[in-house]
Amino acid sequence: MPDEQTTDWLPPEAVVIRGGKMKRGPMEKRVKKDRRKLGFYGLSCCSLRDYTYDELDALARIAQMPQPKLRASTVGRIRDAGEGFDVLPTPSENNPAHATLKLPDPPSDRDWEKLEEIFDEPVNNVAALEEGR
């Protein structure tokens, strides 16, 4: 089995979710701040190796995502966006599904457009709605 910290840990069919509507401005600020911490441009997301689109709601529950809207893609779609795009597992004690969506260094205008294209339109986060968030 691949090491958890390698890119091979998450298969192409694994679903990747981000909370919110993924507006470019706030994401740009976040990646610049996180680059100092991570050593690369990256965004928080959630993904687990055995979860596909069919388990999107279950993954949101595991990750305890509070946002009322989610955007989804797959590891394969993200990697296929081009050089520099990847999804790395970065689980925490509070969120075993936490991952980091790695971006090209630095992300170009076209990279931000690709990011918008590879994620589906926002959908309701059923887990957050059930909990009244």
Given a contact cutoff of 8 angstroms between Cβ atoms, the answer to whether 68 and 128 are in contact is yes
Global pTM value: 0.89
Q: What is the DSSP string of 36-81?
A: HHHSS-EEEEE--TT--GGGHHHHHHHHT---SEEEEEEHHHHHTT
Q: What is the H or E stretch that residue 17 is in?
A: strand 15-19
Query: Which pLDDT tens digits describe the chain residue by residue (133 residues)?
Result: 344 455 568 999 999 999 999 999 999 999 999 899 999 999 999 999 999 989 999 999 999 999 999 999 999 999 999 999 999 999 999 999 999 999 999 999 999 999 999 999 999 998 887 766 5
